[in-house]
Structure formats: C-alpha cells, structure tokens
C-alpha cells in the first residue's frame, strides 16, 4: 500500500463515517434498531475500492474503519450488487451468479441492510431549520415544479428523437417494423420448408419412374 | 573524551536545537504543553490541514484492535485516539489515557466527557519512562506525536515493552524524515517560517511552535527509531511512511 493509497483509504472511511452518522442523527427513526447489532462488525469488500470497509456499531454511532480482524460477517461484492441486495429474495440469486459472497452470520448483514433502509430523513424540516419555513416551502415548490418540467422535457426529448430517428431519417427501425420483418421471415421459412418437401417428393417420383423404365 | 565530558553528555539532552540538562527538559516540555493545551486541537487542524485525523485513523486501523482489548494511549493529549479506541473496545474493554502534562489531560478529559465517552476510559498522569502499571497489562499501546518530547526515549520504550502483554503491539505515530528532497525543502520552509507565525497568531505562542519544528528535526529518523524499538525488545518491527515520510507509523510486537 502506497502513501497515497493509505491516505485515500482513510479519507473514504472518514467521509463515509461522517455521512452515515449525520444521516443517522437526522433520521426520523433515530438510532432505533442499532441496539440489536451493537458491537457487531460487518466487513464489506467492494471490488471498486480494493480495501475492506468495516462497519461497526458502537451504541448510537457507526464506526467506519479498514479493520478487518474478527468480523461477524464478511461480504465480497460490488456497489451495483450491493444496491440490488435491498431485496432479500435476490440474495440467493446473486450468490448463484457469483456476484455476491457472504461468509459469517448472514443475519448481521440483513440487520445492517434493514438499518440503512430505515434511514428516513425529513429534508424539508431540516432545511427549514436553517433557512426558515417560507423559503423552504417556496424552494420545495420550485424543486417540484422543476422536477416536473425536467421529467416532461426528458419525455419530450425522447419522443422527438425517436420521431426523428425512426420516421424522418429512418436511421432506426420501429418495434412494429421489427415484428413485421420477423413475421415475414417466419412466413418465408414455412414456404421454403413446403417447397423443400415438394422438391423431395418430385425427386422421389423421378427416381421411381427411372427404375420402372430400366 | 574526559570523564567529565562523558558525564555531561549522559546528563544532557535536546530541547529542540538547544542542549539542556535532562532534568531541565521535562519542565521545559511541560511549559510548552501547558501553554498550548487549550488551542491544541485547533492548531493541529490548522498546521496539518486536518490530515492528522487521517494519520490517526490509519494508526487505529493498524492496531488490530478488537472488542474487549485493553489499550494505553500514551501521551494521549486531547484524546483523539482514546475516543475511537473507547468505542471500538466496547464496554468489556478499557482505554487508559495517559499524559505527563496535567493541562493536556484536563483538556482531553473534558472533551471526551462532553462527547459522552465515560464508561471505559481511565485518566492517568504518567511519565512514559516510568509507567505506573503492572507488567503485561495492555493489548495495545499507542503514542502519537509524543515520543519526541520524552527525555529518555530508550527508557520509555523499555517501559512500554514491560507493560505490554505478550502478543501485544506498540504503535508509534511520530513526525519523521520526508522521503523526497523537494518535499524536505518545502516542509522545512513551512515549519520554520509559517508554523511559528501561525502559533503566534492563534495560540499566542510562537516559541512553542518553534520548539515543535526543532524537536521534529531532532527526532530519530525511521530506521533509527526502528532500531531503538528492537533494542528495547520489540519484534517484527516495521514502519510505514505517511504523507511522503512527514509522519511515520512504527509498529512492534512483544512476544
């Protein structure tokens, strides 16, 4: 491990620890549920990072370190898979696909996952504490309006670009055209098969006639 | 060398660039830390641009600490390492924050208590050369930015070795010698021109920060400290340079 890697590693851990504990402090559910995993340690090896992330619960705080000695549960995975891990039913499937490797107490991993899912922050209340109720209301309304407009614009751009690519420039074929082409290919396949059978029968008849003449 | 010179050399040590009597160094170092204690954390953040927090986190990661361990945070000052260790060892473990300087210990104790860290921390005013603990007491001993202020480093290392349990480890986080010449020059300029001014402005004490810069230069380099640890009895001794060698973390085991 080089100097820079060591410091980068510590920086990531420090930032994660601050973010998680800040989110925990702001969460409407508080530190509920942490008692059951107090002093439990979950070590996560993310393929993107290349070093262990150790999450340990200490009373109402989460400590993030690179300590990987004597963990209760170890997970080897990637960030993408970790996000998919939210759904319990997917765990077996992800393990089968070699995208997830869990060793140790699976219950600890699930309790950590539940804890992160339960984080619920009322952003409006938090923002209002800093800038006041009316600006927060105005800002929220503006945010919603912007979000609606952006969604509409995104849909409009998608529709317009589809129109341009499919109909005007004909650079891309539409779904119905692909289906129609597939049908035509199937039809041609059936007709070719029938023709092959006809030809086989004719060949047989010719061969039979030749045998009779001889 | 005459007997008198030999005797004089044995009884003298460095206080920054000055050569002082061994008995005198302790009180001089004490006055430095009494003076800076209140502003210690702020100055650490300012002087290191906050990087000291990453160095300390690295030390904790290298400690291999686990719940139930007994830790001695020697020269623990304002308790940055103690705070983390206290959480990591849990209620079955114990952390002793020891410092020779009462002002530093008071600041550390107040800070930790304000953060609600009370259940597994003990505070001891102790001299690193004569640790007031039984043999084989601790699983981990750390001394962060403290060893260079100790009058007799060899004696302190022997004392730490004595109170460490077999299988236990010592971690020494200390300023060291930068690996690159260019970095050394930049670091020297910063230490002797900017640092004392910063100390004057924030802590109203430029002399203490002049001593800090000088004491870093007088501290043994990476290899020498490693040898000193081995002489004291530590095994599997290694060191890791951080931030280009400005700081090094030495680690040694007692078996």
CB contact under 8 A, B60 and A59: no
Express each pLDDT in B101-149 by its tens digit. Answer: 888 888 889 989 988 888 899 999 999 999 999 999 999 999 998 898 8
Q: Is B124 helix (H, G, I), strand (E, B) or coil?
A: strand
pTM, to two decimals:
0.75
- Residue A61 touches chain B, beta carbons under 8 Å: yes
Query: Two tokens at A201?
Result: 């029968």
Nearest CA in chain B to A71: B66
Name which of A1, A5, A7 to mutate to probe chain B: the one with the most chain B Cβ atoms within 10 A of its Cβ: A7
Q: Quote the minimal CA–CA distance from B116 to chain A in Å.
A: 11
Note whether B47 and B247 are within 8 A (CB).
no
Name which of A58, A66, A70 to mutate to probe chain B: the one with the most chain B Cβ atoms within 10 A of its Cβ: A58
- Taking 80 as the threshold, does the pLDDT of residue B19 lie above it? no
**pLDDT given for residue B36 in this prediction:** 67
User: What value does the mean pLDDT take over residues A185-211?
Assistant: 94
Pick the CATH number of B3-179+208-253 from 3.40.30.10, 3.90.850.10, 3.40.50.150, 1.25.40.10: 3.40.50.150
Which of B119, B132, B126 shows the shortest CA–CA distance to B104?
B126
User: Residue B75: phi, psi to the nearest 5?
Assistant: 50, 40
- Taking 50 as the threshold, does the pLDDT of residue B2 lie above it? no
Assign A155 a pLDDT band (cuts: 50, 70, 90).
very high
- Taking 90 as the threshold, does the pLDDT of residue B164 lie above it? yes
Nearest CA in chain B to A55: B88
CB contact under 8 A, B54 and A67: no
Q: Quote the minimal CA–CA distance from B87 to chain A in Å.
A: 6
Express each pLDDT in B188-239 by its tens digit. Answer: 888 888 878 887 787 777 777 777 778 888 888 899 999 999 999 999 999 9
- Residue A69 touches chain B, beta carbons under 8 Å: yes
User: What value does the mean pLDDT take over residues B11-19?
Assistant: 71
Q: HSE (CB half, 13 Å, CA atoms) of B136?
A: 4
Q: Quote the minimal CA–CA distance from A53 to chain B in Å.
A: 11
Q: Which of B114 and A3 is assigned the larger pLDDT?
A: B114
Q: Smallest Cβ distance to B61: which of A3, A56, A66?
A: A66
Q: Smallest Cβ distance to A6: which of B60, B66, B242?
A: B242
CB contact under 8 A, A65 and B54: no
Nearest CA in chain A to B244: A3
| All residues at 6 or more sequence positions from A141 whose CB lies less than 8 Å from its CB, including other chains | none
Nearest CA in chain B to A15: B54
Query: Two tokens at B121?
Result: 């921390």
Which chain A residues are Cβ-neighbours of B64 within 8 angstroms?
67, 69
CB contact under 8 A, B66 and A61: no
Question: Domain limits of chain B?
Answer: 3-179+208-253
CB contact under 8 A, B244 and A6: no
Rounded to whole angstroms, how far apart are CA atoms A65 and B58?
9
Cα distances from B239 to residues A43, A57, B109, B123, in angstroms, run 25, 30, 30, 28
Q: HSE (CB half, 13 Å, CA atoms) of B21?
A: 4
**pLDDT given for residue A85 in this prediction:** 67
**pLDDT given for residue A86 in this prediction:** 63
Which of B164, B132, B172 shows the shortest CA–CA distance to B148?
B172
DSSP codes of every residue in chain A: --HHHHHHHHHHHHHHHHHHHHHHHHBTTTTTT-GGGTT-EEEEEETTT-SEEEEEEETTEEEEE---SS-SEEEEE-HHHHHHTTSTTHHHHHHHTTS-EEEE-HHHHHHHHHHHHT--B-HHHHHHHHH-HHHHHHHHHHHHHHHHHHHHHHHHHHHHHHIIIIIIS--S--HHHHHHHHHHHHHHHHHHHHHHHHHHHHHHHHHHHHHHH-
Name which of B49, B50, B58 to mutate to probe chain A: the one with the most chain A Cβ atoms within 10 A of its Cβ: B58
Q: What ipTM was reported for this prediction?
A: 0.77
**pLDDT given for residue B182 in this prediction:** 87
Note whether B144 and B56 are within 8 A (CB).
yes
Q: Is B77 helix (H, G, I), strand (E, B) or coil?
A: coil
Note whether B251 and B183 are within 8 A (CB).
no
Rounded to whole angstroms, how far apart are CA atoms B109 and B82?
10
CB contact under 8 A, A14 and B57: yes
Which residue, chain included where needed, has tokens 């029938």?
A194
């Amino acid at each position: 491990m080089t100097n820079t890697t060591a410091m980068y590693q510590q920086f990531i851990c420090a930032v994660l620890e601050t973010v998680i504990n800040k989110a925990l402090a702001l969460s409407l559910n508080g530190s509920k549920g942490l008692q059951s995993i107090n002093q439990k340690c979950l070590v996560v090896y993310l393929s993107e990072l290349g070093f262990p992330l150790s999450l340990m619960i200490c009373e109402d705080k989460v400590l993030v370190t690179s300590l990987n000695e004597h963990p209760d549960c170890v997970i080897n995975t990637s960030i993408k898979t970790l996000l998919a891990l939210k759904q319990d039913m997917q765990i077996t499937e992800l393990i089968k696909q070699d995208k997830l490797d869990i060793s140790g107490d699976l219950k600890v991993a699930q309790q950590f996952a539940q804890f992160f899912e339960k984080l619920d922050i009322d952003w409006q209340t938090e923002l209002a504490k800093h800038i006041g109720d009316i600006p927060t209301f105005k800002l929220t309304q503006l945010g919603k309006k912007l979000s609606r407009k952006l969604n509409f614009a995104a849909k409009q751009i998608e529709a317009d670009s589809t129109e341009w690519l499919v109909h005007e420039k004909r650079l891309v074929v539409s779904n119905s055209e692909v289906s129609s082409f597939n049908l035509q290919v199937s039809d041609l396949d059936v007709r070719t098969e029938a023709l092959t059978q006809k030809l086989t029968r004719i060949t047989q008849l010719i061969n039979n006639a030749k045998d009779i003449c001889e | 060398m005459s007997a008198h010179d030999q005797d004089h050399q044995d009884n003298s040590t460095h206080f920054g660039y000055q050569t002082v009597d061994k008995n005198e160094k302790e009180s001089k170092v004490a006055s430095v830390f009494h003076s800076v204690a209140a502003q210690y954390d702020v100055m650490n953040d300012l002087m290191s641009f906050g990087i000291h927090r990453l160095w300390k986190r690295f030390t904790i990661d290298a400690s291999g600490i686990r719940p139930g361990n007994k830790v001695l945070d020697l020269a623990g000052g304002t308790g940055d390492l103690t705070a983390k260790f206290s959480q990591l060892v849990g209620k079955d473990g114990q952390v002793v924050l020891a410092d020779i300087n009462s002002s530093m210990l008071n600041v550390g104790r107040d800070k930790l208590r304000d953060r609600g860290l009370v259940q597994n921390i003990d505070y001891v005013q102790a001299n690193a050369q004569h640790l007031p603990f039984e043999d084989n007491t601790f699983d981990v001993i750390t001394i962060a930015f403290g060893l260079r202020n100790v009058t007799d480093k060899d004696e302190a290392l022997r004392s730490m070795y004595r109170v460490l349990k077999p299988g236990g480890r010592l971690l020494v986080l200390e300023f060291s010698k930068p690996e690159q010449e260019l970095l050394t020059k930049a670091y020297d300029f910063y230490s002797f021109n900017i640092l004392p001014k910063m100390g004057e402005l924030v802590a109203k004490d430029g002399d203490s920060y002049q001593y800090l810069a000088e004491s870093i230069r007088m501290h043994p380099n990476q290899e020498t400290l490693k040898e000193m640890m081995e002489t004291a009895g530590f095994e599997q001794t290694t060191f890791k340079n951080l931030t280009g060698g400005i700081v090094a973390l030495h680690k040694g085991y007692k078996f």
